[in-house]
Structure 1
Amino acid sequence: MDATTTVALAPAPPPERHDARLAGDLAIWIFILAELLAFGVFFAAYAFARANDPALFAAEQLALNRSAGAINTVLLLTASYFVVRAVHAAEAGRGHRGARWLLAALGCAAGFVAIKLAEYAAAFEAGISLSSSTFHMFYLSLTFFHFMHVLLGMVILGALWVNARRGRYDADNMNGIESGAAYWHMVDLVWLVLFPLVYVIR
């Protein structure tokens, strides 16, 4: 039997398996789903109230700073991009590079917070409060609820940054950074619904 025949009769190697796995911890996904449900209830209540008084909502929407909202949208999307790059860097074993991406994401988040605080300051200076109108009650409640999630996201990103600098993430230890990234993407996703709903759609 020649070498060619031997090769032909040799068993083919088993196909490479790619087992599907949930990115991050199951607990963070349960938390994310619960938070999305809470925001969904808020959004539905806002839509119902708007349908009952569209003229009031349209008029008071005009006073909102849509430019600030648009800049904040860009900041959150950019932060999410940086977080994705950080996860890829960690998976490749380049923790210090991942830490730099996380620091950049934190910078974007800080920009969002600064702009949002300026918006709140302007609103309070104009005498706007939760009791000013139905629209302002929803505007302040929805955006502040999201604002608190951004602050929590910054705490998470800060913890991920510290761990990435210490080289704690690699291809075999991705649970922490993937869980944090999933939470941040949820914060981003909620804003992508909140911004057009409250600031733009009339």
Structure 2
Amino acid sequence: MWVFIFGDMTVFAILFGVYLYYRGEDPGLFNESQLRLNQTFGVINTFVLLTSSLLVVTAVRAVRRGAHVLARRLVYAAMACGVVFVANKAIEYGQKISHDIVPGTNQFFMYFYVMTGLHLLHVVIGMALLGLIVKLTRRPALTGREEGYMEGAASFWHMVDLLWIVIFPLLYLVK
């Protein structure tokens, strides 16, 4: 899992670097386009993902203490945060598309859709991995291997959160 996480983060790091390079090539276009984003969506998604990461950390600790029912509830709450993120992103995309702002609008929006879309895919995959944690919490005790699966799934979810912590300021805030 760690190899996958580091590989995934490397791909995003390259994407961030390319984005910053082209932003430097045409700052006027990127600044003007950025003004067409609604920062409220980004702030809500940041809060939702930070909350979900806290819930996942607490759930992993609960499993280690043997509080599987509590852990399951916490993971369900984290998954609900994931659903809120997906719904919020769908509303944001819908608003952009209704104003004819699509990936082909300009280079900024191409990067906006690629980065946020790729991140959204990771959120969905992460929610499936959180489902694995829910399944594991139904067992009375976990083997060492199962604990590794749980920690790997939690680490993936935290990577998704970390990526958003970079994507949000890059797209919504950096001038």
TM-score when scaled to structure 1?
Answer: 0.83
Q: Classify the secondary structure of the residue corresponding to 2:36.
A: coil
Once the two structures are superposed, residues 57-87 of structure 1 have per-residue CA deviations (whole angstroms, 9 ceiling, x without a partner) of 0011011010111010000000000000010
Match among 105, 128, 145 for residue 132 of structure 1: 105
State the 1:172 CA deviation. Answer: 8.2
5+ residue gaps, structure 1, are: 1-27
Once residues 72 and 127 of structure 1 are traced to their aligned partners in structure 2, the CA distance between those partners, rounded to angstroms, is 23
| Shift in Å, 1:169 | 3.2
Q: Corresponding residue for 1:78?
A: 51
SS in structure 2 of the partner of residue 33 of structure 1: helix
Structure 1 match to 2:16: 43
Percent of counterpart pairs with the same letter? 38
Mapped partners of 2:141, 2:61: distance in 1:
14
2:125 alignment partner AA: L
Q: How many residues align?
A: 175
Contact 1:91/1:169 (8 A) holds in 2: no
Distance 1:172 1:132, change over 3 A: closer
Q: Partners in 1 of 2:145 and 2:7 — Cα distance?
A: 28
CA distance in 1, matches of 2:31, 2:96: 17
Q: How does 1:1-202 map to 2 (within 5 A)?
A: 28-169=1-142, 173-202=146-175
Does the 8 A contact of 1:93 with 1:169 survive in 2?
Answer: no
Could you tell me how far apart the structure 2 residues matched to 1:45 and 1:104 are? 35
Give the Cα separation in 1 of the matches to 2:34 and 2:61: 40
- Give the CA deviation at 1:96: 1.3
* Cα offset, 1:201, TM superposition: 0.8
Indicate conservation of the 8 Å contact 2:132/2:150, yes or no: no
Q: Which residue in the other structure is 1:15 paired with?
A: none
Cα-Cα RMSD? 1.4
Which amino acid in the other structure matches residue 118 of structure 1? I
Q: Which moved more, 1:154-163 or 1:29-38?
A: 154-163
User: Structure 1 runs of 4+ off > 6 angstroms?
Assistant: none
Change (3 A) 1:114 1:168: farther
Q: How far apart, in 2, do the equivalents of 1:168 and 1:176 lie?
A: 13
Letter of the 1:119 partner, please give it. E
Task: For residue 157 of structure 1, give the secondary structure of its aligned residue in structure 2.
Answer: helix
Shift of 1:97: 1.2
Question: Which blocks of at least 5 consecutive residues in structure 2 are unaligned?
Answer: none
- Counterpart-to-counterpart distance in 2, 1:180 and 1:88: 14
Q: Structure 2 CA distance, aligned partners of 1:173 and 1:165?
A: 12
Structure 1: distance between partners of 2:30 and 2:141: 49
Instruction: Name the counterpart of 1:20.
Output: none
Structure with higher helix content: 2
